Chains A and B, each alone.
Chain A
Amino acid sequence: MLEAIIEIIIKTAVIMAFPLGALPLIIHVERRGAAFIQKRVGPNRVGPFGLLQPLADVAKFMFKEEVHPSHVRPFFYSAAPLIALVVALLPLACIPIMGPFQFFDRTVYPEVFRSDMGIFFAFAASALGSYGILLAGWASNNKYTMLGALRACAQMVSYELSLSTAVVAMIFIFGTNDIHLMVDWQTGYWFGFIPKWGVFVQPVAAMLFLVGIFAESNRLPFDLAEGESEIVAGYHLEYSSMKFAIFFMAEYVHMIALSALFIIMFFGGYSVLPGLDLIPLSNPFILPLLQVTSLTIKIALMIWFFVWVRWTFPRFRYDQLMNLGWERLLPLGIVNLIITVLFVYFRNQ
């Protein structure tokens, strides 16, 4: 029993340290990436290449005064960032960072919470993501925050629909809801050189999912919740110091978790990248190591893509955003699903 508990705690620590440890680096990449795209220098004073800048920021957040305005609803005002962070971390519980491996005499599964319903669990948890925002907006008792929260929620739920259609299409293709089996399905090559990734089977679903991630994590071009010109900072306007930083963290963790799910469904999850699989497996620990490396590289590329898009596209208008979600992406998802199902059925006839 104690052994099992220790195992779970280690797994939890690893999976939580993965996004939270990478966070300073991601923020640095985001800033330097922006500078690179806009032909600026970017933060370069603190440490070599400005690498210590995010740490300095963390220290600043810690020592800042926690302004607790008098007009807020105190309990929910404090609870909202906590809820946002916990809910953002939840999907990570069933995301495997490597395949099941032999540890001495038994098979260890890397995910904290192993179930054949893992993927459902992850999506259910990410559907709860809007509550932290809604609570923050309501508890702050300010017009801007309330409006920002309503906007963010309406946007998140709208894009969740097209995202779910993409998930249904992929689960239909894989024929399973077990994440490890999904990854197994995607291991190997077509014609000897094209990796068997889901994105080549369902490009439309991949596109829908990708747009869904942007909208769900409130990133530009969909960050209407924080439209500075209209509602200042949106739902976390009245927050300061670490509470603000927690919202910030939650947003990034949510983004990483959704990217990991995207990679599991469309880019082969932890399956070894082409090129890396040429390394001979002389030791049983090499394969898990390669798998973790592959997943990390894939997620890093995704993050770079996010940064790239952020500094390339302007923000949408709200009516354009809702029209895109409801009148373009949702019918596209439904039609894609119908075509996929009928195609598979008639091919098997």
Chain B
Amino acid sequence: MAYDILLTIMTMVFALMVVFSKKTVVAAFSLLMTLLSIAMIYFQLGTVFLAAIQVLVNAGAIAILFVFVMMLINLEQFQNNRERSKSKLIISILTTLIILGVFSLIINNNIEVLSAVNISDNSMKTLFDKLFTEYYLPFEMATVLLLAALVACIVITGSEKGIKQEQEKLQENLNE
């Protein structure tokens, strides 16, 4: 029980830092920490496989991508202090209220979370069996999705012409 509260507070603090930190690189590292704390929650709930996948893919790779982009795009020229409109404030308060209402409904319905002890090592085997029988087609399709993403990324950013343009610009910046 102490873990619950500790992990929740940790995740909340890092999540708040993602939104409220001034520097975007700090926000990216806070996102990494948030994802790691979520992975720890998965771990504590007994879904160790998903925790490992979360760390490997989300925390390990996505956050790195963010940091690389931040180093690529010279962020110092963008300062994060533009004004916010009032209508957006109203929208945000409304959304908060609605979502909190939905969640209090869910919790009042007495959904009990099973304790992590109940899941034995056996469930991992059942999980994989399910993944490779019932969910085999989505599994294969996910590869196709990844292929599409790969092609898209290269076409958008990494085409030879684009890279050459980028490098020429870099050279100009260096010469200045």
Contacts and interface: CB of A to CB of B under 8 A. Distances in A.
B38 to A, nearest CB: 14
B52 A124 contact: yes
A120 B64 contact: no
Interface stretch (B53-61, B139-147, B150-158, B159-167): B53-61
Interface in A106-139: 115-117, 120-121, 123-125, 127-128, 130-131, 134-135, 138
B48 A115 contact: yes
A177 B26 CA distance: 36
Residues of A in contact with B, size category: 20 to 34
B41 interface: no
A131 B66 CA distance: 12
B132 interface: no
Nearest to A130: B64
B13 interface: no
A115 B60 CA distance: 21
A290 interface: no
A138 B55 contact: no
B124 interface: yes
Nearest to A120: B52
Interface string B1-45: 000000000000000000000000110010010000000000000
Nearest to A83: B29
Given A124-B55, A128-B59, A117 B64 contact: no
A85 B59 CA distance: 18
Nearest to A124: B55
A123 B52 CA distance: 9
B50 to A, nearest CB: 10
Which of A127, A146, A150, A157 has most chain B Cβ within 10 Å?
A127
Contacts of A127: 55-56, 60-61
Contacts of A131: 29, 32, 63-64
A150 B49 contact: no
Interface size class of B (residues with CB under 8 A): 10 to 19
B170 interface: no
A153 interface: yes
Nearest to B59: A128
Given A116-B121, A116-B124, A128 B60 contact: yes
A76 B172 CA distance: 31
Nearest to A135: B29
Contacts of B124: 116-117
Contacts of B32: 131
Contacts of B61: 127, 157
B49 A117 contact: yes
A153 B52 contact: no
Contacts of A117: 48-49, 52, 124
B122 to A, nearest CB: 10
A150 B55 contact: no
Given A117-B48, A131-B32, A150-B68, A124 B121 contact: no
A135 B61 CA distance: 15
B55 A153 contact: no
Contact of A138 (B60, B64, B67): B67
A127 B64 CA distance: 11
A135 B60 CA distance: 14
Nearest to A160: B60
Contact of A146 (B26, B55, B71, B121): B71
A130 to B, nearest CB: 7
B53 to A, nearest CB: 8
Contacts of B67: 134, 138
Given A115-B48, A116-B121, A120-B56, 8 more contacts: A76-B26, A117-B124, A130-B64, A131-B29, A131-B64, A138-B71, A150-B68, A157-B61
The 6 A-B pairs with the shortest beta carbon distances in the complex, nearest first, are A120-B52, A127-B60, A124-B55, A117-B48, A124-B56, A124-B52
Interface of A: 76, 115-117, 120-121, 123-125, 127-128, 130-131, 134-135, 138, 146, 150, 153, 157
Interface of B: 25-26, 29, 32, 48-49, 52, 55-56, 59-61, 63-64, 67-68, 71, 121, 124
27 contacts: A76-B26, A116-B48, A117-B48, A117-B49, A117-B124, A120-B48, A120-B56, A121-B48, A123-B52, A123-B56, A124-B55, A124-B60, A125-B55, A127-B55, A127-B56, A127-B60, A128-B59, A128-B60, A131-B29, A131-B63, A131-B64, A134-B67, A135-B29, A138-B25, A146-B71, A150-B68, A157-B61
